[in-house]
Every structure is written in C-alpha cells, then in structure tokens.
Amino acid sequence: MARVVMHAVVSIDGFIAYPDHSVGPLFDWYGNGDTEAVVRASGWRFQLSRVSAEYVQPFWDGVEVTVIGRRLFDLTNGWDGKPGAGRRLVVVTHRPLPQEWLDAHPDAPFETAASVTEAVARAKDLAGDGLVSVTAGDVGGQAFSAGLVDEVAMDVVPVVLGEGVRYFGGHVGTVLLDDPDRVVRGDRVLHLHHTVRR
C-alpha cells in the first residue's frame, strides 16, 4: 500500500516561500555540493553535499506520484509537463488546466482532482506500493488536517523568512509525530523525517 509523505524545503520558522511565492535562499543547498542527485521524472540535476545526496536520492527515486495544488501548477507552468518527482502528478483544482498547456503537453502524465481527498485517493491508486508525495503548504495542510498524511519530511534551511507560505498551510490543532527516524545534517540544510502517530 502506498505511503503518503508531506514534503518541502522549509525555513527554520516554518515557511516554504515568501508571500509572493519566491523561495529566496531556501534552495541554495541544491547547488552547494560536489555530488550529483537526479530527479528521474524530470531529469533535473542538482549538486548536493554527499550526505544530502545520499538522503534525497532514495526519496526521489521512491516517489511514484506527486500531489500539488493549482497555484503551484500555475507558478511552475506545470514543470513543462514533467512531474517534479515521480512518474505521475495529480493537481488539486476546481478549474480545468489551461487548454494551451494541454495542447503543448499532450503526453504529460498529469491528472486533476476536485479535492485533496480525491487527489490523495487517486494518487495512492496510481502509486501502488510506492510513495505519494504531497507538497507542503495549502494542499499539504489540508491533507494533514484530514488525516491523509502518513509521514512528514522536511529539509530545514537555517534561515528565518519572517513571513510567507506556511509549511502546514492553514492547519490548526495538535497532531503528535513520532521522534524523527531520520536526522541528516547536510551543508546548509537539516533533513528530518517523522511518522505521524495514529
């Protein structure tokens, strides 16, 4: 059965982007090392520290389906039809994807869903025994609030953004996580992985 992991790079004060959705220094660690890590679906290549590459490569390789929101789709132009991670992507949206985008990317392995619950259910069906990655922020917060997230993975960057898009979106309330089962100190990033207590 697929596991659902909520994931993002996050500032030490809990933001995944500035209010304008730019990421500032959050992604600097993607280019500060001498070990290559590759996202298989998109072909993106990053130069990470060895320890970061050893942590993220198996995670990226394990992701079968990614769930994102419409805002991220629009901001990235749907990554030009290639999922950021995994072989399939489900977009939570109440509007159809732009026809010109669909015409330009007829073979894009993207689907839409009208709700987070529907998106996660579809992603789990598609993922088989692989990972479903739900992007943090509004969509991730909704999935987390609905009890659909099994694991939380954070790449914590030592910067205080002060304001912006919250990792857990609009989630309120207390949820206990297990102690981290992975704590990896990279170069300008701390990788944390937790299981959500049931």
Q: Where are the beta strands (DSSP E) in 56-177?
A: 63-69, 88-92, 110-113, 131-135, 151-157, 165-166
The stretches in the chain having pLDDT less than 50 are none
Per-residue confidence (pLDDT) for residue 143, from 0 to 100: 98
Q: What are the residue ranges spanned by the domains of the chain?
A: 3-195
Residue positions counted in the chain: 198
Question: What's the CATH number of domain 3-195, 3.40.430.10, 3.40.710.10, 3.20.20.150, 3.40.50.300?
Answer: 3.40.430.10
**Residue-level pLDDT at 114:** 97
Bridge partners (DSSP) of residue 67 are: 90, 134
> Would the pTM count as exceeding 0.75?
yes
Burial environment of residue 3 by CB neighbours within 10 A (0 to 12, 13 to 18, 19 or more): middle
pLDDT score for 40: 85
